[in-house]
Each structure stands twice: as structure tokens, then as C-alpha cells.
Amino acid sequence: MKCNKCARLVKSRKNIVTYTGADQPIIIFIDNVPGYRDDKEGKPFVGPPGKFFRKAIAKAGITCELGFCYTVMCRPPSYTVPTNDEKRNCRPYLIQILDERMPSIIVTVGTAATSDIFGKTGIMRVSGNAEIRDRCIYFPLIHPAAALRNRDIMNRFLIDVEKLKKLVDSIDTLL
């Protein structure tokens, strides 16, 4: 993939980190931007939080087809977040990813992705609370980086991953 729409991010990124995963995933996980290692390797969810996240999913027994991507696919300069223009620029790519793969469940990972995609704020309040929209289940989830920083948040994160597993098991009755 080639794209130079965002001048600032073209300078800060090493790679465009686009979708990786199954052609027809049951779940697509969407984080907000690639982390340091994701950017370096050009693959999503491969840094320490991503690795922990993948392990937690596997440990919960979520073995269905999965996919991973970001709302903004180029890493911003350190300690900055994407601007609204940058989010707007990248949105058609995300929509294309979702339209082509039509997952049963979209998991928005962390505060920013949950707000941008799902329109919900207060991640500790909404994490683990699924909602069906247009025959797709939206499931907000605490960011694994936050879970790794705090034991209480970790406990809640793991409870919510278990909820996701139950959701996967009951998809046929929900959609």
C-alpha cells in the first residue's frame, strides 16, 4: 500500500501498518495508531502490548479467525495523537477493510478507537459492553497497554476478554 495523504505522518512513520489477518475474520480488532514496534516491523499488534493482547485472547480460548488494524495506519511523532484531518484521511481505508471482510464482531481497543469508531467515551465504563449495530457486534475493550500498567485494570481487562469469548460462542444466536 502507498499513501502520502498526511504530510506529518509521512515523515514520522517507518511503515504504513495496514490490515493483517484472515480474509473472512469473525473478529477485527481496531486500535488507534501503530506503536513503535508495529511501525518498525510494518505489522499490527506485535509490540509488547500487542503480544500480551494476542496471548490473552488465545488463553481465553478465542480461536476463531481474527484480523487486526488501526484507525490511523501511520505512527505519529512521539507523544502526539492523530489530528482530525489525519483521521479523516485514513477513514476510507478502514471502511474498505471492514466492508471487504464484514466481521461479525468489531472490537475497538482502548479509549481513542472506541470513541472514533463506536462513538462511546469512558472506556472503563463501556469496556465489555457489546452493542449490535447493522448486524455487527461492537465490543469496546480496555487497551492492553493500560492493563499492563495497573493490576486492577488488568483484572478488568481479563474479565472483559472472557466476556468476548462468551460473545464469540453465542454469535449464532445474536446475529
Residues that bind ligand SF4 (CB under 6 A): 3-6, 9-10, 16, 72-74, 86, 89-90, 93
* C-alpha dist (Å) from residue 32 to 27, 61, 62, 162: 16, 25, 22, 22
Question: Contact, 32 vs 80, CB < 8 A?
Answer: no
Find the shortest distance in angstroms from Cβ 86 to ligand SF4: 6
**Cβ proximity to ligand SF4, 74 vs 117, nearer residue:** 74
Find the shortest distance in angstroms from Cβ 8 to ligand SF4: 9
Please give the Cα distance from 32 to 110 (Å, whole number): 8
**Cβ proximity to ligand SF4, 72 vs 109, nearer residue:** 72
Q: Is 86 helix (H, G, I), strand (E, B) or coil?
A: helix
Unique residue bearing C-alpha cell 512521539: 78
**Cβ proximity to ligand SF4, 13 vs 101, nearer residue:** 13
Find the shortest distance in angstroms from Cβ 156 to ligand SF4: 31
